Amino acid sequence: MYMKVTYDKDTCTHSANCVNSLPSVFQVKDGNFVIVQDGAPEEKIRETVNSCPSKALKIK
Ligand code: SF4
């Protein structure tokens, strides 16, 4: 099953949870937020998405 993580920059509260808990997927490059969609096992990605405090991250 193909999974895609989406990010809403207007909702994000910059808690940095995601970049700290799963840096292989959630990264800041040149000041831009980048999601490496295949950077970790699906379960790990789901965990981190679910722990985003502002719900800026979603799985499609
Ligand atoms: S965990 Fe959510 S609120 Fe925190 S930086 Fe990531 S996307 Fe933004």
As to burial, measured by CB atoms within 10 angstroms (0-12 exposed, 13-18 middle, 19+ buried), residue 9 is: exposed
Is residue 54 lining ligand 1, measured as CB closer than 6 Å? yes
Is residue 56 lining ligand 1, measured as CB closer than 6 Å? yes
Give the pLDDT of residue 28: 96
Give the pLDDT of residue 1: 60
Residue with CA at minimum distance from ligand 1 atom 6: 18
Is residue 27 lining ligand 1, measured as CB closer than 6 Å? no
- The structural domains of the chain, ordered by start, are 5-59 (3.30.70.20)
Give the pLDDT of residue 39: 97
Give the pLDDT of residue 2: 79
Is residue 57 lining ligand 1, measured as CB closer than 6 Å? yes
Give the Cα separation of 57 and 9 in Å (integer): 9
Per-residue pLDDT of the chain (60 residues; tens, 9 = 90+): 679 999 999 999 999 999 999 999 999 999 999 999 999 999 999 999 999 999 999 999
